[in-house]
Every structure is written in C-alpha cells, then in structure tokens.
Amino acid sequence: MSEPSRRRRVGVMGGTFDPIHHGHLVAASEVAQSFDLDEVVFVPTGQPWQKTAVSTGEHRYLMTVIATASNPRFTVSRVDIDRTGPTYTIDTLRDIRAARPDAELFFITGADAIAQILTWKNVHELWELAHFVAVSRPGHDLSISGLPQADVSLLEVPALAISSTACRERVNRGYPVWYLVPDGVVQYISKHHLYRSAA
Ligand SMILES: Nc1ncnc2c1ncn2[C@@H]1O[C@H](COP(=O)(O)OP(=O)(O)OP(=O)(O)O)[C@@H](O)[C@H]1O
Ligand SMILES: O=C(O)c1ccc[n+]([C@@H]2O[C@H](COP(=O)([O-])O)[C@@H](O)[C@H]2O)c1
C-alpha cells in the first residue's frame, strides 16, 4: 500500500523589510528547520497601516530578493506590494493560498508582532488559513496568552538584537550596517542613497 502523499509545508514571513536584516533571515531559517518547511515565502508589505514613512515597495521588494537569493528554499512574493490599499494579513494568506492551494501554511511572526495580532483585521479568521509561529526577539516577551493555543506555536530562535529601525538610524548617522544586513543589501542601500535624510 502506498504512503499518503505529504502536503507541501510553506512558511509565510510577512514584514515591511525596510531594510531586511539578519534577524528576519535567522527567524525564517529556524522555523523552516523546526517545522520541516519546504519553502519560506517572504512577503514585503505594500502599505503597512500601522507604520508611517516607509521606503517604496520596489526598494523593499528588491532588497528582500537580494537577501534571500542564496537560499534555495526562500522565495519572495509581490502579492502585498501589488495589491492597492492597506496591507492586511488576511489578504496575504488568501492570496498565498490561492497560489498554492494544496499547501499547509505557517505564518511567521516575531514576539512584538504576535503581541499586536489582536489588533489585526479579521484576526479570528486568520487561524483557519495558517498555523502561526511566534519567534523570540530580544527586548520583547514571547507570550501567546489570549490566543488560540492550537493555532499558535512559540519558538526560541538565536537572539539577534537587530531592528530595521536601528539599521535605518545607523545609515542616517553614517554608521556601518555591514553584518547586520546581507552584503548585497548594504550595497543596495548605498547605491540608492536610502535612509540618508530621514531615519
Ligand atoms: N531580530 C529579530 N528577531 C526575531 N524576529 C524579528 C526580528 N526582527 C524582526 N522580526 C520579525 O520579523 C517580522 C517583520 O519585521 P519588520 O519588517 O517590521 O522588522 P523590524 O525590525 O521590526 O522593523 P522596524 O524596526 O522598522 O519596526 C515581524 O514579525 C518581526 O517581529
Ligand atoms: O492584518 C493586519 O491588520 C496587520 C497589521 C499589522 C501587521 N500585519 C502584518 O504583520 C507582518 C509584520 O508587520 P510589520 O508592520 O511589523 O512589518 C506583516 O506581514 C504585516 O502585513 C498585519
């Protein structure tokens, strides 16, 4: 008798990625290992409605492509930057599911993002579309109290105290971001003069 075929397991790493840094990449890599994922799709936000003054979607998309290019399991989706209006994860997951109807989805968030999830649009429908994996992040308590235990997992990942905000501020002050972000992203930021006038 043949074994039932295993469903493809796909991680979805949503973020503004302004810029993408090694904290994002380590989080995705650790979840891929722990949850036996076949692919992690990085999805740069289009218009993140809880943030202000972000770089253009094209800059953030291209930096994400550069940062993930060397990992054969990492891909990048344009679904959020190509959709007009504010970015909601409910739409992200519906679009990713439409493109991969047979896949089991795992949405990856940091401790700070999961703490805010009850403010997200249609939060109670999110659990039907994906399993959520909340990863540890320095400076943030990792807790899922108040969230459905069966739909959210916690994962401790190597602590990288890096944020996009700190990277932007460093560039703005003329400090290096080598080794905080991938080398190609350092060069992209320099080539396009990102983060120079406003952090
Ligand atoms: N160093 C990190 N360790 C673990 N998770 C992280 C880390 N940095 C970001 N994340 C998670 O990655 C996702 C996308 O994060 P985002 O693109 O907003 O980066 P950020 O560094 O938090 O940006 P900003 O400083 O501009 O708010 C979120 O779920 C966030 O919690
Ligand atoms: O769906 C929402 O209402 C919602 C509100 C805030 C953030 N999110 C998602 O959370 C992910 C991380 O967002 P951010 O703003 O921390 O980069 C990203 O995929 C966002 O689209 C989603």
pLDDT tens per residue, range 36-56? 999 999 999 999 999 989 999
Contact 160 CB / ligand 1 (< 6 Å): yes
Ligand number with the minimum distance to the CA of 142 = 1
The CATH number of the domain where 147 resides is what? 3.40.50.620
Residue whose Cα lies nearest atom 5 of ligand 2: it is 120
Rounded Cα distance, 39 and 36, in Å: 9
Residue 166: inside a domain: no
Whether 97 is in a domain gets the answer: yes
Whole-number Å distance between alpha carbons of 39 and 12: 9
Domain count, the chain: 1
Query: Is residue 170 a part of any domain in this protein?
Result: no
Span 157-167, pLDDT tens digits: 999 999 999 99
* Pocket flag, ligand 1, residue 180 (CB < 6 Å): no
What is the residue-wise DSSP string for 128-194? HH-EEEEEPBTTB----TTS-TTTEEEE--------HHHHHHHHHTT---BTTB-HHHHHHHHHTTT
Tell me, yes or no, whether 190 lies in a domain.
no
The model's pTM is 0.97
Q: Are 90 and 126 in contact (CB under 8 A)?
A: yes
Q: Are strands 39-44 and 131-135 parallel, antiparallel or unpaired?
A: unpaired
Q: Amino acid letter at 83?
A: R
Tokens of 68: 């993930």
CA distance 40 to 89: 16
Residue 194, in any domain of the structure: no
**pLDDT score recorded for residue 199:** 42
Residue 144: what pLDDT?
86
Whether residue 187 lies inside any domain: the answer is no
Give the model's pLDDT for residue 197: 78
Q: Among all ligands shown, which has an atom nearest to the Cα of 55? A: 1
Q: From the CA of 115, which ligand is nearest? A: 1
Ligand 2 pocket test, pick from 12, 13, 16 with the greatest ligand atom count within 8 Å of Cβ, gives 16
Query: What is the whole-number distance in angstroms between the Cα of residue 6 and the centre of ligand 1?
Result: 31
Give distance in angstroms: CA of 5 to centre of ligand 1: 35
Q: Is residue 119 part of a domain?
A: yes
CA of 48 to the centre of ligand 2 (A): 6
Query: Residue with the nearest Cα to atom 31 of ligand 1?
Result: 110
Range of the domain at 41: 9-161
Say if 21 falls within a structural domain: yes
Q: Which of 187, 15, 122, 97 has the alpha carbon at shortest distance from 25?
A: 15
The token pair at 86 is 């504010």
For the chain, residues with pLDDT lower than 70 are 1-3, 198-199
**Cβ(48) – ligand 1 distance below 6 Å:** no
User: What are 42's strand-pairing partners?
Assistant: 13, 76
User: For residues 11 and 48, what is the distance between their CA atoms, to the nearest angstrom?
Assistant: 20
